[in-house]
Structure 1
Amino acid sequence: MTEMTTRGLARGLLSDQIYDLVKSMIKDSTLAPGQQLVESQLAREWKVSQAPVRDALKRLAHEGLVTHERNRGNFVAEYTEDEVHQARVARTALESLAGRLVCGNLSEEMRSRLDNTIEKMHAAATERNLSTFRELDFAFHRTVIEASGNPYLPRMWDIIEPSLRATHALGDPEYPGDWHEVADWHWSLLQVLQADDEDAAANLFARHAAGTLLEPDETAQPR
Protein backbone atom coordinates (compact mmCIF):
# COMPACT_ATOMS: atom_id res chain seq x y z
CA MET A 1 0.00 0.00 0.00
CA THR A 2 1.45 3.38 -0.98
CA GLU A 3 2.04 6.18 1.50
CA MET A 4 -0.54 8.34 -0.28
CA THR A 5 -3.19 5.60 -0.02
CA THR A 6 -2.41 5.10 3.67
CA ARG A 7 -2.76 8.81 4.35
CA GLY A 8 -6.05 8.83 2.44
CA LEU A 9 -7.39 5.92 4.49
CA ALA A 10 -6.38 7.56 7.78
CA ARG A 11 -8.04 10.79 6.71
CA GLY A 12 -11.18 8.90 5.72
CA LEU A 13 -11.42 7.17 9.10
CA LEU A 14 -10.82 10.47 10.90
CA SER A 15 -13.52 12.14 8.84
CA ASP A 16 -15.95 9.36 9.81
CA GLN A 17 -15.18 9.87 13.49
CA ILE A 18 -15.69 13.64 13.25
CA TYR A 19 -18.90 13.08 11.28
CA ASP A 20 -20.22 10.78 14.01
CA LEU A 21 -19.21 13.21 16.75
CA VAL A 22 -20.79 16.30 15.18
CA LYS A 23 -23.91 14.35 14.27
CA SER A 24 -24.24 13.16 17.87
CA MET A 25 -23.76 16.71 19.17
CA ILE A 26 -26.50 17.98 16.86
CA LYS A 27 -28.87 15.19 17.90
CA ASP A 28 -28.40 15.76 21.63
CA SER A 29 -28.66 19.56 21.20
CA THR A 30 -25.06 20.21 22.32
CA LEU A 31 -24.89 22.10 19.04
CA ALA A 32 -27.99 24.26 18.75
CA PRO A 33 -29.90 25.07 15.54
CA GLY A 34 -28.30 28.07 13.87
CA GLN A 35 -24.95 27.64 15.63
CA GLN A 36 -21.97 28.27 13.37
CA LEU A 37 -19.51 25.44 12.77
CA VAL A 38 -16.10 26.95 12.03
CA GLU A 39 -13.77 24.42 10.40
CA SER A 40 -10.55 25.94 11.77
CA GLN A 41 -11.96 26.23 15.28
CA LEU A 42 -13.17 22.62 15.33
CA ALA A 43 -9.87 21.42 13.88
CA ARG A 44 -7.92 23.20 16.62
CA GLU A 45 -10.23 21.92 19.33
CA TRP A 46 -9.89 18.31 18.18
CA LYS A 47 -6.21 18.68 17.18
CA VAL A 48 -6.73 17.59 13.58
CA SER A 49 -6.27 19.20 10.18
CA GLN A 50 -9.19 21.03 8.57
CA ALA A 51 -9.56 18.52 5.73
CA PRO A 52 -11.41 15.75 7.67
CA VAL A 53 -13.56 18.38 9.40
CA ARG A 54 -14.50 19.81 5.99
CA ASP A 55 -15.32 16.33 4.67
CA ALA A 56 -17.50 15.56 7.68
CA LEU A 57 -19.42 18.84 7.41
CA LYS A 58 -20.02 18.24 3.69
CA ARG A 59 -21.61 14.86 4.51
CA LEU A 60 -23.78 16.43 7.19
CA ALA A 61 -24.83 19.17 4.77
CA HIS A 62 -25.78 16.52 2.23
CA GLU A 63 -28.03 14.92 4.87
CA GLY A 64 -29.62 18.24 5.77
CA LEU A 65 -28.22 18.44 9.29
CA VAL A 66 -25.86 21.29 8.39
CA THR A 67 -26.41 24.19 6.01
CA HIS A 68 -23.59 25.81 4.06
CA GLU A 69 -23.96 29.50 3.24
CA ARG A 70 -21.59 30.94 0.67
CA ASN A 71 -19.15 33.46 2.14
CA ARG A 72 -20.53 32.78 5.63
CA GLY A 73 -19.72 29.16 6.40
CA ASN A 74 -21.47 26.18 7.95
CA PHE A 75 -24.31 26.26 10.44
CA VAL A 76 -26.38 23.70 12.31
CA ALA A 77 -29.61 23.48 10.34
CA GLU A 78 -32.59 25.54 11.44
CA TYR A 79 -36.16 24.67 10.57
CA THR A 80 -39.06 26.71 9.26
CA GLU A 81 -42.62 25.93 10.36
CA ASP A 82 -43.22 24.19 7.04
CA GLU A 83 -40.07 22.08 7.42
CA VAL A 84 -41.14 21.11 10.93
CA HIS A 85 -44.53 20.09 9.60
CA GLN A 86 -42.95 18.05 6.83
CA ALA A 87 -40.63 16.35 9.34
CA ARG A 88 -43.64 15.31 11.41
CA VAL A 89 -45.39 13.98 8.33
CA ALA A 90 -42.28 11.98 7.49
CA ARG A 91 -42.02 10.72 11.08
CA THR A 92 -45.64 9.58 11.03
CA ALA A 93 -45.12 7.60 7.83
CA LEU A 94 -41.79 6.20 9.05
CA GLU A 95 -43.10 5.03 12.41
CA SER A 96 -46.24 3.61 10.84
CA LEU A 97 -44.11 1.50 8.50
CA ALA A 98 -41.82 0.44 11.34
CA GLY A 99 -44.82 -0.59 13.44
CA ARG A 100 -46.12 -2.70 10.59
CA LEU A 101 -42.76 -4.39 9.98
CA VAL A 102 -42.07 -5.11 13.65
CA CYS A 103 -45.57 -6.32 14.53
CA GLY A 104 -45.44 -10.04 15.30
CA ASN A 105 -41.68 -10.09 14.66
CA LEU A 106 -40.35 -8.48 17.83
CA SER A 107 -37.34 -10.35 19.15
CA GLU A 108 -37.01 -11.09 22.85
CA GLU A 109 -33.96 -8.83 23.01
CA MET A 110 -35.79 -5.88 21.49
CA ARG A 111 -38.88 -6.52 23.63
CA SER A 112 -36.70 -6.48 26.74
CA ARG A 113 -35.02 -3.24 25.63
CA LEU A 114 -38.35 -1.54 25.05
CA ASP A 115 -39.79 -2.84 28.31
CA ASN A 116 -36.75 -1.59 30.22
CA THR A 117 -36.94 1.80 28.51
CA ILE A 118 -40.56 2.28 29.58
CA GLU A 119 -39.70 1.36 33.18
CA LYS A 120 -36.97 4.00 33.12
CA MET A 121 -39.45 6.51 31.66
CA HIS A 122 -41.73 5.97 34.65
CA ALA A 123 -38.79 6.45 37.01
CA ALA A 124 -37.83 9.69 35.24
CA ALA A 125 -41.45 10.85 35.42
CA THR A 126 -41.52 10.22 39.17
CA GLU A 127 -38.33 12.27 39.57
CA ARG A 128 -39.61 14.95 37.17
CA ASN A 129 -36.38 14.50 35.27
CA LEU A 130 -37.73 15.64 31.92
CA SER A 131 -34.35 15.69 30.19
CA THR A 132 -33.84 11.99 30.92
CA PHE A 133 -37.46 11.24 30.04
CA ARG A 134 -36.98 12.91 26.68
CA GLU A 135 -33.88 10.88 25.87
CA LEU A 136 -35.69 7.68 26.82
CA ASP A 137 -38.61 8.67 24.60
CA PHE A 138 -36.24 9.03 21.64
CA ALA A 139 -34.52 5.77 22.57
CA PHE A 140 -37.83 3.88 22.54
CA HIS A 141 -38.75 5.06 19.05
CA ARG A 142 -35.24 4.56 17.71
CA THR A 143 -35.29 0.97 19.02
CA VAL A 144 -38.53 0.25 17.16
CA ILE A 145 -37.04 1.74 13.99
CA GLU A 146 -33.98 -0.52 14.37
CA ALA A 147 -36.17 -3.55 15.10
CA SER A 148 -37.82 -3.14 11.69
CA GLY A 149 -34.85 -4.92 10.13
CA ASN A 150 -34.80 -2.40 7.28
CA PRO A 151 -31.38 -0.69 7.26
CA TYR A 152 -32.74 2.40 5.50
CA LEU A 153 -35.23 3.30 8.23
CA PRO A 154 -32.60 4.23 10.87
CA ARG A 155 -30.85 6.42 8.30
CA MET A 156 -34.11 8.22 7.57
CA TRP A 157 -34.76 8.60 11.31
CA ASP A 158 -31.31 10.18 11.74
CA ILE A 159 -32.22 12.82 9.16
CA ILE A 160 -35.48 13.90 10.82
CA GLU A 161 -34.46 13.44 14.47
CA PRO A 162 -32.68 16.83 14.84
CA SER A 163 -35.80 18.69 13.72
CA LEU A 164 -37.91 16.64 16.15
CA ARG A 165 -35.51 17.55 18.94
CA ALA A 166 -35.39 21.23 18.00
CA THR A 167 -39.18 21.49 18.14
CA HIS A 168 -39.71 19.19 21.17
CA ALA A 169 -41.81 16.82 19.08
CA LEU A 170 -40.92 14.14 21.65
CA GLY A 171 -40.72 14.82 25.38
CA ASP A 172 -42.07 18.37 25.13
CA PRO A 173 -41.07 20.14 28.38
CA GLU A 174 -44.21 22.30 28.07
CA TYR A 175 -46.52 19.27 28.15
CA PRO A 176 -48.99 20.00 30.99
CA GLY A 177 -50.26 16.46 31.52
CA ASP A 178 -49.12 13.43 33.51
CA TRP A 179 -45.75 12.14 32.31
CA HIS A 180 -46.63 8.69 33.63
CA GLU A 181 -49.52 8.68 31.18
CA VAL A 182 -47.09 9.44 28.35
CA ALA A 183 -44.97 6.49 29.47
CA ASP A 184 -48.09 4.30 29.53
CA TRP A 185 -48.80 5.21 25.90
CA HIS A 186 -45.56 3.41 25.13
CA TRP A 187 -46.83 0.30 26.90
CA SER A 188 -49.70 0.35 24.41
CA LEU A 189 -47.23 0.63 21.55
CA LEU A 190 -45.24 -2.31 22.89
CA GLN A 191 -48.35 -4.43 23.33
CA VAL A 192 -49.54 -3.86 19.77
CA LEU A 193 -46.11 -4.90 18.49
CA GLN A 194 -46.45 -8.22 20.29
CA ALA A 195 -49.82 -8.94 18.67
CA ASP A 196 -50.36 -10.05 15.08
CA ASP A 197 -52.46 -7.19 13.65
CA GLU A 198 -50.14 -5.24 11.38
CA ASP A 199 -52.82 -2.70 10.43
CA ALA A 200 -53.53 -1.97 14.09
CA ALA A 201 -49.81 -1.52 14.80
CA ALA A 202 -49.31 0.79 11.83
CA ASN A 203 -52.36 2.82 12.81
CA LEU A 204 -51.41 3.17 16.49
CA PHE A 205 -47.84 4.22 15.71
CA ALA A 206 -49.08 6.73 13.13
CA ARG A 207 -51.54 8.26 15.61
CA HIS A 208 -48.87 8.40 18.31
CA ALA A 209 -46.41 10.12 15.97
CA ALA A 210 -49.04 12.56 14.73
CA GLY A 211 -50.12 13.40 18.29
CA THR A 212 -53.71 12.26 17.77
CA LEU A 213 -53.91 9.42 20.31
CA LEU A 214 -56.47 11.28 22.39
CA GLU A 215 -58.70 11.94 19.39
CA PRO A 216 -61.35 9.46 18.13
CA ASP A 217 -59.88 6.83 15.83
CA GLU A 218 -61.78 7.31 12.59
CA THR A 219 -60.14 4.22 11.08
CA ALA A 220 -61.49 1.91 13.77
CA GLN A 221 -64.17 -0.46 12.59
CA PRO A 222 -67.51 -0.46 14.47
CA ARG A 223 -68.05 -3.53 16.61
Structure 2
Amino acid sequence: MQPSESNVIIQKPLSELIADQLKQKIWKEDIQLGERLLETELAEHYDVSRSTIREALRILESEELVVSQARKGTYVADFTDRDANEMIELRTLLESHAFEQAMPRLESEHIAKLEEIVGQMKARADEQDWNGLFELDMRFHSYVVGLCGNSRIIKIYDSLQVQIRTFLMHLDRYYSSPQAFYDEHVQLLEALVSGDVHTVNRRVREHIEYVETKLLGQQDKLEEVYSNE
Protein backbone atom coordinates (compact mmCIF):
# COMPACT_ATOMS: atom_id res chain seq x y z
CA MET A 1 0.00 0.00 0.00
CA GLN A 2 1.34 3.43 -0.97
CA PRO A 3 1.80 5.91 1.91
CA SER A 4 -0.58 8.85 1.87
CA GLU A 5 0.69 12.34 1.09
CA SER A 6 0.13 13.40 4.69
CA ASN A 7 2.25 10.50 5.95
CA VAL A 8 5.03 11.42 3.54
CA ILE A 9 5.03 14.97 4.91
CA ILE A 10 5.09 13.69 8.50
CA GLN A 11 8.09 11.48 7.67
CA LYS A 12 10.11 14.44 6.44
CA PRO A 13 13.13 15.29 8.62
CA LEU A 14 12.53 18.23 10.94
CA SER A 15 15.20 20.28 9.17
CA GLU A 16 13.34 19.89 5.85
CA LEU A 17 10.06 20.92 7.42
CA ILE A 18 11.67 24.05 8.83
CA ALA A 19 13.37 24.79 5.50
CA ASP A 20 9.95 24.53 3.80
CA GLN A 21 8.42 26.93 6.33
CA LEU A 22 11.24 29.42 5.84
CA LYS A 23 10.73 29.28 2.07
CA GLN A 24 7.07 30.13 2.50
CA LYS A 25 7.93 33.03 4.79
CA ILE A 26 10.38 34.36 2.21
CA TRP A 27 7.92 33.98 -0.66
CA LYS A 28 5.18 35.68 1.34
CA GLU A 29 7.70 38.43 2.21
CA ASP A 30 7.39 37.81 5.94
CA ILE A 31 11.18 37.46 5.62
CA GLN A 32 12.73 39.94 3.22
CA LEU A 33 15.35 39.35 0.54
CA GLY A 34 18.75 40.25 1.96
CA GLU A 35 17.59 39.76 5.57
CA ARG A 36 19.96 38.10 8.01
CA LEU A 37 18.84 34.78 9.49
CA LEU A 38 20.05 34.19 13.05
CA GLU A 39 20.42 30.58 14.17
CA THR A 40 19.70 31.39 17.82
CA GLU A 41 16.46 33.25 17.05
CA LEU A 42 15.26 30.57 14.64
CA ALA A 43 16.10 27.76 17.07
CA GLU A 44 14.10 29.54 19.78
CA HIS A 45 11.19 30.26 17.44
CA TYR A 46 10.88 26.66 16.23
CA ASP A 47 11.93 25.17 19.59
CA VAL A 48 14.66 23.03 18.04
CA SER A 49 18.42 22.72 18.34
CA ARG A 50 20.77 25.07 16.49
CA SER A 51 22.15 22.04 14.62
CA THR A 52 18.66 21.44 13.18
CA ILE A 53 18.51 25.08 12.09
CA ARG A 54 21.97 24.84 10.54
CA GLU A 55 20.82 21.82 8.52
CA ALA A 56 17.69 23.68 7.39
CA LEU A 57 19.83 26.62 6.29
CA ARG A 58 22.18 24.26 4.42
CA ILE A 59 19.16 22.96 2.50
CA LEU A 60 18.18 26.52 1.56
CA GLU A 61 21.77 27.32 0.62
CA SER A 62 21.94 24.30 -1.70
CA GLU A 63 18.82 25.70 -3.40
CA GLU A 64 20.50 29.13 -3.61
CA LEU A 65 17.80 30.75 -1.52
CA VAL A 66 20.24 31.81 1.21
CA VAL A 67 23.95 32.62 1.21
CA SER A 68 26.46 32.16 4.02
CA GLN A 69 29.22 34.72 4.44
CA ALA A 70 32.31 33.95 6.50
CA ARG A 71 32.27 35.79 9.84
CA LYS A 72 29.13 37.66 8.80
CA GLY A 73 26.35 35.08 8.97
CA THR A 74 23.59 33.73 6.74
CA TYR A 75 21.39 35.98 4.62
CA VAL A 76 18.43 35.48 2.33
CA ALA A 77 19.74 35.78 -1.22
CA ASP A 78 18.92 39.07 -2.93
CA PHE A 79 17.29 38.53 -6.32
CA THR A 80 18.85 41.16 -8.60
CA ASP A 81 17.78 42.40 -12.04
CA ARG A 82 20.59 40.29 -13.49
CA ASP A 83 19.21 37.20 -11.74
CA ALA A 84 15.76 38.02 -13.12
CA ASN A 85 17.07 38.39 -16.66
CA GLU A 86 19.02 35.12 -16.46
CA MET A 87 15.93 33.33 -15.14
CA ILE A 88 13.81 34.82 -17.93
CA GLU A 89 16.31 33.66 -20.56
CA LEU A 90 16.59 30.16 -19.11
CA ARG A 91 12.83 29.72 -18.66
CA THR A 92 12.20 30.92 -22.21
CA LEU A 93 14.67 28.42 -23.65
CA LEU A 94 13.43 25.47 -21.58
CA GLU A 95 9.70 26.13 -21.63
CA SER A 96 9.27 27.16 -25.25
CA HIS A 97 10.89 23.86 -26.30
CA ALA A 98 9.15 21.75 -23.63
CA PHE A 99 5.70 23.19 -24.43
CA GLU A 100 6.16 22.45 -28.14
CA GLN A 101 7.22 18.87 -27.38
CA ALA A 102 4.30 18.40 -24.97
CA MET A 103 1.64 19.47 -27.48
CA PRO A 104 1.37 16.19 -29.45
CA ARG A 105 1.30 14.28 -26.15
CA LEU A 106 -1.64 16.18 -24.73
CA GLU A 107 -4.63 13.92 -24.15
CA SER A 108 -8.07 14.70 -22.77
CA GLU A 109 -7.08 13.97 -19.16
CA HIS A 110 -4.08 16.30 -19.45
CA ILE A 111 -6.25 19.11 -20.80
CA ALA A 112 -8.77 18.49 -18.03
CA LYS A 113 -5.99 18.78 -15.42
CA LEU A 114 -4.76 22.06 -16.91
CA GLU A 115 -8.32 23.38 -17.04
CA GLU A 116 -8.67 22.50 -13.36
CA ILE A 117 -5.50 24.45 -12.51
CA VAL A 118 -6.64 27.46 -14.55
CA GLY A 119 -10.03 27.29 -12.83
CA GLN A 120 -8.30 27.44 -9.46
CA MET A 121 -6.29 30.42 -10.72
CA LYS A 122 -9.55 32.23 -11.48
CA ALA A 123 -10.64 31.78 -7.88
CA ARG A 124 -7.28 33.06 -6.58
CA ALA A 125 -7.45 36.03 -8.96
CA ASP A 126 -10.92 36.91 -7.68
CA GLU A 127 -9.53 36.82 -4.14
CA GLN A 128 -6.52 38.98 -5.10
CA ASP A 129 -4.34 36.13 -3.80
CA TRP A 130 -1.01 36.60 -5.57
CA ASN A 131 0.76 33.93 -3.52
CA GLY A 132 -1.86 31.36 -4.47
CA LEU A 133 -1.64 32.43 -8.10
CA PHE A 134 2.12 31.96 -8.16
CA GLU A 135 1.86 28.48 -6.65
CA LEU A 136 -0.68 27.53 -9.33
CA ASP A 137 1.48 29.12 -12.03
CA MET A 138 4.31 26.80 -11.06
CA ARG A 139 1.94 23.83 -11.03
CA PHE A 140 0.67 24.71 -14.52
CA HIS A 141 4.12 25.14 -16.07
CA SER A 142 5.64 22.13 -14.31
CA TYR A 143 2.74 19.93 -15.43
CA VAL A 144 3.23 20.86 -19.09
CA VAL A 145 7.03 20.51 -18.91
CA GLY A 146 6.50 17.09 -17.35
CA LEU A 147 4.71 16.01 -20.53
CA CYS A 148 7.55 16.97 -22.89
CA GLY A 149 9.05 13.48 -22.98
CA ASN A 150 12.61 14.62 -22.25
CA SER A 151 13.68 13.36 -18.83
CA ARG A 152 16.72 15.63 -18.70
CA ILE A 153 14.74 18.79 -19.40
CA ILE A 154 12.24 17.72 -16.73
CA LYS A 155 15.06 17.10 -14.23
CA ILE A 156 16.71 20.47 -14.94
CA TYR A 157 13.37 22.25 -14.66
CA ASP A 158 12.58 20.52 -11.36
CA SER A 159 15.95 21.61 -9.98
CA LEU A 160 15.04 25.24 -10.73
CA GLN A 161 11.71 25.24 -8.91
CA VAL A 162 12.89 27.15 -5.82
CA GLN A 163 14.62 29.81 -7.92
CA ILE A 164 11.61 30.16 -10.23
CA ARG A 165 9.29 30.57 -7.24
CA THR A 166 11.60 33.22 -5.79
CA PHE A 167 11.57 35.01 -9.14
CA LEU A 168 7.76 35.00 -9.10
CA MET A 169 7.43 36.57 -5.65
CA HIS A 170 7.70 40.13 -6.95
CA LEU A 171 5.80 39.73 -10.21
CA ASP A 172 2.72 41.39 -8.74
CA ARG A 173 4.43 44.77 -9.16
CA TYR A 174 4.55 44.28 -12.95
CA TYR A 175 0.95 43.21 -13.53
CA SER A 176 -2.01 45.57 -13.54
CA SER A 177 -4.10 43.01 -11.66
CA PRO A 178 -4.30 39.31 -10.71
CA GLN A 179 -6.89 39.01 -13.51
CA ALA A 180 -4.25 39.94 -16.10
CA PHE A 181 -1.95 37.19 -14.78
CA TYR A 182 -4.82 34.70 -14.88
CA ASP A 183 -5.77 35.79 -18.43
CA GLU A 184 -2.28 34.92 -19.67
CA HIS A 185 -2.75 31.34 -18.50
CA VAL A 186 -6.12 31.13 -20.24
CA GLN A 187 -4.32 32.16 -23.43
CA LEU A 188 -1.52 29.65 -22.82
CA LEU A 189 -4.03 26.84 -22.39
CA GLU A 190 -5.96 27.89 -25.50
CA ALA A 191 -2.70 27.90 -27.47
CA LEU A 192 -1.80 24.40 -26.25
CA VAL A 193 -5.22 23.04 -27.16
CA SER A 194 -5.09 24.72 -30.60
CA GLY A 195 -2.16 22.57 -31.67
CA ASP A 196 -0.51 25.58 -33.34
CA VAL A 197 3.20 25.38 -32.52
CA HIS A 198 3.87 28.98 -33.57
CA THR A 199 1.11 30.30 -31.30
CA VAL A 200 2.31 28.23 -28.34
CA ASN A 201 5.88 29.41 -28.78
CA ARG A 202 4.77 33.05 -28.98
CA ARG A 203 2.46 32.80 -25.95
CA VAL A 204 5.14 31.15 -23.82
CA ARG A 205 7.71 33.77 -24.75
CA GLU A 206 5.32 36.67 -24.23
CA HIS A 207 4.26 35.30 -20.83
CA ILE A 208 7.81 34.81 -19.54
CA GLU A 209 9.43 37.83 -21.20
CA TYR A 210 6.69 40.25 -20.15
CA VAL A 211 8.63 41.11 -16.98
CA GLU A 212 11.82 41.76 -18.96
CA THR A 213 9.97 44.36 -21.02
CA LYS A 214 9.02 46.10 -17.78
CA LEU A 215 12.52 45.83 -16.33
CA LEU A 216 14.38 47.00 -19.41
CA GLY A 217 11.76 48.94 -21.35
CA GLN A 218 12.00 46.58 -24.31
CA GLN A 219 8.29 46.37 -25.18
CA ASP A 220 8.74 48.03 -28.59
CA LYS A 221 11.64 45.73 -29.39
CA LEU A 222 9.68 42.58 -28.53
CA GLU A 223 6.62 43.68 -30.45
CA GLU A 224 8.82 44.22 -33.51
CA VAL A 225 10.29 40.73 -33.13
CA TYR A 226 6.89 39.08 -32.80
CA SER A 227 5.43 41.07 -35.73
CA ASN A 228 8.22 39.85 -37.99
CA GLU A 229 7.71 36.18 -37.14
Alignment TM class, shorter chain as reference: 0.7 to 0.9
CA contact (8 A) 1:35 1:75 kept: yes
Aligned length: 201
**Bigger RCO of structures 1 and 2 (CA < 8 A, at least 6 apart):** 1
Residue 139 of structure 2 is aligned to residue 142 of structure 1: yes
Partner of 1:209: 208
Aligned pairs (5 A) from 1:1-223? 13-106=13-106, 108-125=108-125, 127=126, 129-130=127-128, 132-133=129-130, 135-149=132-146, 150-165=154-169, 168-169=170-171, 172-173=172-173, 175-176=175-176, 180-211=179-210, 215-216=223-224, 217-218=226-227, 220=229
**What are the Cα deviations for residues 91-113 of structure 1, in whole angstroms up to 9, with x where unaligned?**
32233233224323335455334
**What are the Cα deviations for residues 79-136 of structure 1, in whole angstroms up to 9, with x where unaligned?**
23222222222232233233224323335455334323434444555x5x43x14532
> Shift in Å at residue 174 of structure 1?
5.6
Q: What amino acid is aligned across from residue 59 of structure 2 in structure 1?
A: R
In 2: Cα distance, 1:29 partner to 1:16 partner: 20
In 1: Cα distance, 2:93 partner to 2:29 partner: 24
CA RMSD of aligned residues (A): 2.9
Alignment partner of 1:206: what SS? helix
TM normalised by structure 1 equals 0.74
Alignment partner of 2:194: what SS? coil
In 2: Cα distance, 1:15 partner to 1:48 partner: 9
TM normalised by structure 2 equals 0.72
Partner of 1:7: none
CA contact (8 A) 1:103 1:193 kept: yes
Alignment partner of 2:33: what SS? coil
Give identity over the alignment, percent: 27
Alignment partner of 1:67: what SS? strand
Unaligned runs of 5+ in 2: 1-11, 147-153, 214-218
Unaligned runs of 5+ in 1: 1-11
CA distance 1:69–1:181, shift in 2 (3 Å): closer
CA distance 1:135–1:215, shift in 2 (3 Å): farther
**What are the Cα deviations for residues 38-60 of structure 1, in whole angstroms up to 9, with x where unaligned?**
11221222121111221221221
